[in-house]
């Protein structure tokens, strides 16, 4: 899987995330590093929306800013996740395609668990109608 990655600062967790993604066999495409968090979220979101990457991972101090910024890109469903079960649910029930992580709160071990669940889960086909409903929001209706 191709994973777009971005972080607004090169904290140790950012290194852990890219190493873990590569260890899991993913191709990591670093699209933003050290940029302001709005640009990080937008760049990763755009890479996913344009099909350059299959999914994305964004990081900032809280994870909130990059999540908000990524969600401004049409077609992106970014989820800020602090644990593996939330990450699994975000993929399964919300078809999230960008994972946001907090550089402040996420330990290396928890990040590994989150990445495994987020990238290992498959969207639930029963949720497709609700996911499609989100496109109406993009159209401003």
Active site residues: 60
Which of 24, 32, 34 has its CA nearest to residue 1?
24
d(CA 65, CA 37): 6
What values do phi and psi take at 86, rounded to 5?
-65, -40
CA-CA distances (angstroms) from residue 125 to 80, 92, 95, 116, 131?
22, 9, 10, 20, 10
Instruction: Give the integer Cα–Cα distance in Å for 111 and 14.
Output: 10
């Amino acid at each position: 899987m191709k994973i777009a990655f971005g972080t607004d600062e090169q904290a140790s967790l950012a290194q852990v995330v890219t190493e873990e993604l590569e260890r899991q066999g993913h191709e990591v495409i670093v699209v933003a590093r050290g940029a302001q968090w709005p640009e990080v979220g937008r760049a990763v979101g755009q890479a996913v929306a344009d099909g350059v990457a299959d999914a994305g991972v964004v990081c900032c101090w809280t994870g909130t800013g990059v999540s908000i910024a990524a969600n401004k890109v049409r077609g992106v469903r970014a989820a800020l996740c602090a644990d593996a079960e939330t990450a699994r649910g975000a993929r399964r029930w919300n078809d999230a395609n960008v994972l946001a992580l907090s550089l402040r709160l996420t330990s290396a071990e928890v990040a590994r668990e989150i990445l495994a669940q987020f990238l290992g889960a498959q969207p639930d086909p029963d949720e497709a109608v609700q996911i499609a409903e989100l496109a109406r929001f993009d159209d401003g209706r």
